[in-house]
């Protein structure tokens, strides 16, 4: 394949990107996005603060713009995200207990219902585990409603959109030996054993020199897949430049291709200038839209699979 999406499709996988609604009028941006990618994640537009700015008053304007662009260009959509401790609207930030639990479940139900039939996979719950060595849940207002809040969110999402794949999504879960990775693994194993509806696990994959691509990445992906879930790399970006950055991108692609249930890879933006951390130049196209060495290594690795 001569594009990322075509090369990934040769092994039945997708290659995606985050899209920002306010850039859909930038034709340099949409030309690259349309040519290279066949899966789209809304970078911010489907989050809680964007979709429910006032309680029970929903705003799908910008999320719908992204879905519309995706559908009219033949792309699938990853929904991001239904329940998260961050980017909550102000009214939710100060809620607690059963009122918050009800509000969270209502949010999951209303948003998943609005997009029913249009979402390939939902990041139902995002970033619910703590960093560091504790292996604990992250403390948050949602966690304080009870440890079962995650499975409650998954059940509500399944009821609202039975055909969407339901994913748990997190970062720093790449290295198999890390406590956070083990904790998420144990949750997924428990969910599968008890019939909680979960279909997939997303690995955000935000890498930098302090958090490099681990050499055991294929082990992590393979062990999760062996639980009976699909795995996806969902927000890939790697700080750096040149050969070092390109080789790390190649390593990620090779790890995914080595696991049959690794069904796709998405990068977290189109050009370096579109990145949430643009100073790290972490993406596959430079600010002028030129293909970087990391692009060539990624494409070659996809084609070699």
Binding residues for ligand G3I, rule: CB under 6 A, are 43-44, 86-87, 126, 171, 204, 235, 276
**Strand ranges, E, within the chain:** 14-19, 39-42, 76-84, 121-126, 165-170, 200-203, 206-207, 230-238, 262-267
CB-wise, 1 or 212, nearer to ligand G3I?
212
Taking the complex as a whole, the smallest distance from the CB of residue 140 to ligand G3I amounts, in Å, to 14
- DSSP bridge partners of 95: none
Residue nearest to ligand G3I (CB): 276
Taking the complex as a whole, the smallest distance from the CB of residue 82 to ligand G3I amounts, in Å, to 12
230-238 and 262-267 beta bridge pairing: parallel
From the list 43, 45, 52, 235, the catalytic residue is 235
Task: For residue 124, give every residue at least 6 positions away whose Cβ sits within 8 Å of its Cβ, in sequence order, or none.
Answer: 81, 82, 83, 108, 153, 154, 157, 166, 167, 168
- DSSP bridge partners of 265: 15, 233
Taking the complex as a whole, the smallest distance from the CB of residue 53 to ligand G3I amounts, in Å, to 12
From the list 43, 45, 127, 151, the catalytic residue is 127
Assess whether 36 carries a catalytic annotation.
no
CB-wise, 214 or 269, nearer to ligand G3I?
269
Cα–Cα separations (whole angstroms), residue 28 to 43, 81, 151, 176, 207: 18, 27, 41, 39, 26
Count, in order, helices (H) and strands (E) of the chain: 11, 9
CB-wise, 265 or 302, nearer to ligand G3I?
265
Assess whether 127 carries a catalytic annotation.
yes
Query: Helix, strand, or coil here: 275?
Result: coil
Taking the complex as a whole, the smallest distance from the CB of residue 123 to ligand G3I amounts, in Å, to 8
Taking the complex as a whole, the smallest distance from the CB of residue 204 to ligand G3I amounts, in Å, to 5
Give the angle subtended at the CA of 264 by the CAs of 152 and 302, to the nearest 5°: 165
CB-wise, 204 or 297, nearer to ligand G3I?
204
CB-wise, 275 or 297, nearer to ligand G3I?
275
Max CA separation in the chain (angstroms): 52
Catalytic residues: 127, 235
């Amino acid at each position: 394949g001569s594009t990322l999406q075509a090369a990934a499709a040769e092994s039945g996988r997708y290659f995606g990107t985050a899209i920002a609604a306010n850039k859909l009028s930038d034709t340099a941006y949409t030309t690259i996005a349309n040519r290279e990618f066949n899966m789209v994640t809304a970078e911010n537009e489907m989050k809680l603060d964007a979709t429910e700015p006032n309680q029970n008053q929903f705003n799908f304007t910008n999320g719908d713009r992204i879905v519309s662009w995706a559908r009219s260009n033949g792309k699938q959509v990853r929904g991001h995200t239904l329940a998260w401790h961050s980017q909550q609207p102000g009214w939710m930030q100060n809620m607690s207990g059963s009122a918050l639990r009800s509000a969270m479940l209502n949010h999951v139900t209303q948003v998943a219902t609005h997009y029913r039939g249009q979402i390939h996979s939902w990041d139902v719950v995002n970033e619910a585990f703590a960093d560091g060595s504790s292996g604990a849940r992250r403390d948050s207002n949602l966690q304080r409603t009870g440890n079962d809040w995650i499975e409650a969110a998954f059940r509500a999402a399944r009821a609202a959109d039975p055909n969407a794949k339901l994913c748990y999504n997190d970062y720093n879960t790449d290295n198999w030996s890390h406590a956070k990775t083990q904790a998420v693994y144990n949750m997924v194993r428990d969910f599968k054993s008890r019939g909680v509806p979960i279909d997939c696990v997303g690995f955000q994959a935000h890498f930098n020199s302090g958090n490099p691509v681990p050499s055991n990445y294929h082990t992590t992906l393979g062990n999760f897949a062996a639980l009976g879930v699909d795995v996806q790399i969902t927000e890939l970006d790697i700080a750096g430049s040149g050969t070092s950055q390109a080789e790390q991108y190649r390593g990620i692609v090779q790890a995914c291709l080595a696991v049959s249930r690794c069904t796709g890879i998405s990068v977290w933006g189109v050009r370096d200038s579109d990145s949430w951390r643009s100073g790290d130049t972490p993406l596959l196209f430079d600010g002028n839209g030129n293909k970087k060495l990391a692009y060539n290594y990624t494409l070659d690795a996809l084609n070699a699979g």
